[in-house]
Structure 1
Amino acid sequence: MKQDIKSRADVERMVNTFYDKVKQDDVIGFIFNDIAKVNWEKHLPVMYDFWENIIFLTNKYVGNPMSVHIHLNEQVPFTKEHFQRWLLLFTGTVDELFEGKKADIVKEKAASIAAIMETKIASPFKIMR
């Protein structure tokens, strides 16, 4: 039986597993590998803080994810397919590893984040920035 997300170690496991999938993915992997050229040693701890804050309200995350994604979108226009794939990989990773209230919350938050970013960045009705 799977357990719920209970600690930072669980968050790190979730994030690492998710990004291992992203790096290999045919739909969005190139954005991370070739366009953003992500420095994983720096990026992963930021993502640990981000998701730990979402789940446990730690206030450890500092950053502006929207501006980073707007900049990337200028280099390669994001599509609805990109956001759907990100969400599919993320929620699939959570379901693979965990079950419970925190796991459900993190999947709901991920869906909300994807929808907001898609609306603000990739939608033909982009919100003015």
Structure 2
Amino acid sequence: MKDIQNRKDIELLVDEFYKLVIKDELIGHLFTQIVKLDWNVHIPVMYDFWETSLLGKTKYKGNPMLRHIELNRKETLKPEHFDRWLSLWEQSIKSNFKGEKAGMAIQRGHQIAELMKFKIEKHS
């Protein structure tokens, strides 16, 4: 198994992750019913976000914290939502990649989840 190395790898990771998310009984509805994401818009943004975060390319411009604070106003995000997101994120990484960047992706996911929980609680 190889490490995350380029945009194609990021795209594979994000695509595999969202395949799991959409079907998930705990968090899937947040994406499909509460936010009703336009996947043609959302997925390329996620590619840019993770390419920026993991590969150092300056592609992403946005405020993910604000989006999640808005989501929390529609439906309260609970610790178990974050735990499931992290579980699916790690599963997507470990099923497809191994190496330094894969480890960094897991670590960044945990950092982002903790920061989001903190920011959401602060704005509740």
For each residue in 1:89-119, what CA deviation from the matched residue of structure 2 results, as whole angstroms up to 9, or x when unmatched? 0011100000000000111000000111112
Letter matched to residue 12 of structure 2: R
Letter matched to residue 35 of structure 1: I
Question: How has the CA–CA distance of structure 1 residues 79 and 128 changed in structure 2, closer, same or farther, with 3 Å as cutoff?
Answer: closer
Question: Whole-Å Cα distance in 1 between the matches of residues 123 and 17 of structure 2?
Answer: 31
Please show how residues 57-76 of structure 1 align to structure 2 within 5 Å. Answer: 57-76=56-75
Letter matched to residue 39 of structure 2: W
Question: Kindly, what percent of the aligned residue pairs are identical?
Answer: 41
1:15 aligns with 2:14: yes
Q: Which residue of 2 aligns with 1:86?
A: 85
Question: Whole-Å Cα distance in 2 between the matches of residues 39 and 111 of structure 1?
Answer: 25
Secondary structure of the residue aligned to 1:105 is: helix
For each residue in 1:44-65, what CA deviation from the matched residue of structure 2 results, as whole angstroms up to 9, or x when unmatched? 0000000000111111100000
Q: CA RMSD in A?
A: 1.1
Question: Whole-Å Cα distance in 1 between the matches of residues 69 and 123 of structure 2?
Answer: 12
Structure 1 unaligned spans of 5+: none
Question: Whole-Å Cα distance in 2 between the matches of residues 128 and 36 of structure 1?
Answer: 19
Q: How many residues align?
A: 124
Q: Which residue of 2 aligns with 1:96?
A: 95
Shift of 1:127: 2.4
Shift of 1:120: 1.6
Where do 4+ consecutive residues of structure 1 move more than 2 Å? 126-129
Question: Whole-Å Cα distance in 2 between the matches of residues 72 and 92 of structure 1?
Answer: 24
Q: Which residue of 2 aligns with 1:106?
A: 105
* TM-score normalised according to structure 1 size: 0.93
Question: Whole-Å Cα distance in 1 between the matches of residues 73 and 67 of structure 2?
Answer: 10
